[in-house]
Amino acid sequence: MINHELHLVEGVSYLKQLRQSMHMSQEEMARLIGVSSKTVYRWEAGVHTVNLTSLQWKNLYKEILVPLNINILDLPDDLGAPYVKTA
């Protein structure tokens, strides 16, 4: 079950919505998970698929998912793909 505090907007990548919910810039998220801000931009734009190492997942989990009370099992398969509301 997705946390209802995260108000998902159709057509916007899930990763971007997570980042914005934490009031983070792309640069701040990039530092958090150890990539460049350009990489975060490309993920959010759907140019590249989000591919994280174990350490990057741990950081994402600890710094973003836990504070937002989001279960990692509720994440979509592709964090960079635009959110599509299901019936």
Domain ranges of the chain: 14-72
Q: In the beta sheet, which residues pair with residue 82?
A: 13
Read off the pLDDT of residues 41-62 as tens digits, 9 standing for 90 and up: 999 998 999 999 999 999 999 9
Nearest-angstrom CA–CA distance, 2 and 9: 13
pTM above 0.75, yes or no: yes
Angle at 2 between CA 40 and CA 76, to 5 degrees: 45
Q: Which CATH number fits domain 14-72: 1.20.272.10, 1.10.1660.10, 1.20.1730.10, 1.10.260.40?
A: 1.10.260.40
**Given a cut of 90, is residue 34 above it in pLDDT?**
yes
List, for residues 10-19, the tens digit of each pLDDT value: 889 999 999 9
The more confident residue out of 48 and 6 is 48
Q: What is the Cβ-side half-sphere exposure of residue 44, based on CA atoms within 13 angstroms?
A: 18
